[in-house]
Amino acid sequence: MRYSRLLATGLFLISASTTALAAATADEAARIRTAIQVYAGAEPGVVDVKPSGDDYIITLDPAPYLAKVKAPNFSAKIDAVVLTARPKGDGQWDVSQTGPYNFNVAFDGQNSIDGKIAANEWKGVFDEGVASFLTSDFSLKNIVITQILSESGMKTTSVSTIESWSGSSTGKPRADGAIDATGTNTLGPTTVVSTMEPPPGTAPGSMPPLDYTATAAGGDTTSTVTGFRSKAILDLVAWFVARPSQELIVRDQAQLKEKIAAALPLWEELDSNGAYKTVNIKTALGDFSMATVGGGVAMSGVTEAGKLREAINFSGLTIPPGLVPPWSSDLVPHTFKLDFTVSGVNMKAPVDVMLAEADFAKDPPLSPESQLKLLPAFAPNGTMNVNFTGGEITSATNSISYDGDLLVNFTGIPTGKFNIRMKGMEETIAKVQVGATAADQMAQQAMGTLVAAKGLAKTEADGSLLWVVEILPDSKILINGVDPMSMMGGAPQQ
């Protein structure tokens, strides 16, 4: 959300000011303004700081910068961020914000985004030493975001309404200057209404209706980050602000590389997981619903042991009546889980190559010879690991679980091994047989596949069927040690 990004930027900007425990003064306000301008720039009207009792009222107004945008048909009005900051001593500040917040950006004469937040209450404790918040609590009420997008003559209008959004976070400074933080977010009832207008001149009925209304009872997310280099990242921002032209960046590129290196690995580990509850989607085809829709992402920073994990899941799926043939209605999955992790790569080494060999005076900054070093640096073994765990596809008739490992070879054939288990094969065959008997072509094709799969399976102690699928370096695929192509009388795989 652009609002949260703008707010977070504004809050970080007070990091260079002093923290005397005393009544606010005009001199101190001037020093704070100068410190903020290190990060926000010195454009007149952008930063204003005024003393008010024991507090400082900090106003960050993007209007002067927006007025400089010369793009055709561009307009923007974004409310200023107004913060109240009070020094606590020892380099810490109480910071708060309250009141409504609105923004509107339009471009190309056809596309726009408009946001309104009826009420906002936020407070936190900012620590200069790590340039981050030790605590943060916020509550937003009645958020409405309207987006209009036009492409190839088609106009899409989307209105998102969130009744409430609240959250909290805590940060713990570390001896190395980084910070470890945890946070939670809770979304209240949410509605998204999307309508589409076909291009002018489109014949009535020639395009399927694509309008929809989606609702959710709410959602929750939890996030953690370790080793976040907030201070070094802020220093990098200040470096760019002080050099607003390409010529200055090129002139001081040795310093830039030092600043980037100091900010690495940006963070060590980042992990976020969340889920929406009671999701309903109304479409022209009927109503879809899910009890939960969730997911998660975890990623390393720019480290030698690079890693990325993604997870997607839903439960309690129901679909409109008549959308699938009657024989297959109980075969539609109501639960789905996908969870995979990419590893075995080096995120740091390619950055090291760029920092050592890039010349920002040239276009491109990296020579062809240097570019050839990036892939070997990223994948020193020429491979990348993809691990799948806890996979599940469950319907009213059957349940399939899966896990395995895939080795992606950047110069050859991928290899791997997967375990697929299924309960309910006989019940599934019986359902499909009903459709096959009724001459349903899809059912007849599925029946052949199911019979072949059953023949290749091993039966485990609990009655479930097991397929161990191996992908070999010669591209041959084995299922429970058997080459299915040879069983079907086909030519062996090469």
Residue 418 to residues 250, 336, 398, 406, 477: CA-CA distances in angstroms? 50, 18, 19, 8, 11
Task: Give me the mean pLDDT over the 399-418 stretch.
Answer: 97
Residue 97 resides in a domain:
no
Q: Considering the entire predicted model, what is its pTM?
A: 0.89
The answer as to whether 450 is a domain residue is yes
Residue 372 within any structural domain of the chain: yes
Tell me the per-residue pLDDT of 452-461, one tens digit each, with 9 for 90 and over. Answer: 999 999 999 9
**46 within domain boundaries:** no
**How confident is residue 204, by pLDDT bands cut at 50, 70 and 90?**
confident
In a domain, 120, yes or no: no
**Quick one: CA dihedral 248, 252, 255, 256, positive or negative?**
positive
Query: pLDDT, tens digit, for every residue of 288-339?
Result: 999 999 999 999 999 999 999 999 999 999 999 999 999 999 999 999 999 9
Mapping DSSP onto H, E and C, the string for 78-117 reads: ECCEEEEEEEEECCEEEEEEECCEEEEEEECCCEEEEEEE
pLDDT at 489: 55
pLDDT of the residue at 334: 98
Cα-to-chain-centroid distance, residue 299? 11
What value does the mean pLDDT of the chain take?
A: 93
226-271 tens-digit pLDDT: 999 999 999 999 999 999 999 999 999 999 999 999 999 999 999 9
**pLDDT attached to residue 36:** 93
Report whether the peptide linkage leading into residue 44 is cis, meaning its omega lies within 30 degrees of zero.
no
Give the separation between CA 274 and CA 190, rounded to whole angstroms.
Answer: 15
Question: How many structural domains are present in the chain?
Answer: 1
Helices (H), 358-440: 368-371, 374-378, 425-437
Give the model's confidence band at 152: pLDDT under 50 very low, under 70 low, under 90 confident, else very high. Answer: confident
CA dist 117 and 104 (Å) reads 12
Angle in degrees, CA 413, 414, 416, rounded to 5: 135
d(CA 16, CA 412): 52
As given in the structure block, the two tokens for residue 285 are 């085809």
Helix (H) or strand (E) holding 261: helix 253-263
Interval 103-145: pLDDT, tens: 999 998 789 999 999 999 999 999 988 999 999 999 999 999 9
d(CA 168, CA 184): 6
Tell me, yes or no, whether 338 lies in a domain: yes
pLDDT in tens, 49-67: 999 999 999 999 999 999 9
Asked whether residue 393 is assigned to any structural domain, the reply reads yes
Q: Provide the domain limits for residue 365.
A: 303-346+360-494
